[in-house]
Amino acid sequence: MVQKLLVTAALLAGTAMTVVHAQSAEPPAGSFAEGNLRYIPTSGTTCAVNGYESAPKGEMIIPETVKNGAYTVTSIISSAFQNCKALTAVTMPCSMNLIGPDAFRGCSSLTSVTLSDGLTDIQSSALAECLQRMRESEIGDIRERYRRP
């Protein structure tokens, strides 16, 4: 079951960290593009979203599988969508279980994120500096759900 949770940066902002932005000139070896998104295999049957071909605008839906079902999308790597200022909404598949650090940092137009029940880890600052336009009353208490042991 997919739950629509609206999250503010205040809930998920962690400590600042220095990371290399996912949109480097040379994609990592083994990575591939499908649609506007780039992926990198993480096992023989799973992959992670590791960036995009052109900056996403409006609503973005991350697919559950890519390469004609050969890979299940299970994570988003660090900084994958950092500073995508025109991104307004994100829908993640049921297979998604991890959102890396700074994945959506600085996505200042982002107003909603649809997370799946399969999501087990939202890492530090994943949604920092975004979702400012959300109302506190719209925010579910997800801190407990994604707390690290």
67-126 pLDDT, tens digit each: 999 999 999 999 999 999 999 999 999 999 999 999 999 998 888 888 888 888 988 888
Question: Cα(114)–Cα(88) distance, rounded to whole angstroms?
Answer: 12
33-71 pLDDT, tens digit each: 999 999 999 999 999 999 999 999 999 999 999 999 999
pLDDT at 148 over 70: no
The more confidently predicted of residues 118 and 143 is 118
Element of type H or E holding 41: strand 37-41
Q: How many helices (H) and strands (E) does the chain have?
A: 1, 11
Residues 6+ apart with CB under 8 A from 89: 58, 59, 60, 110, 111, 112, 113, 114
Q: Which amino acid is at 122?
A: I
Residue 97's CB is within 10 A of a number of other CB atoms, namely 15
pLDDT at 17 over 60: no
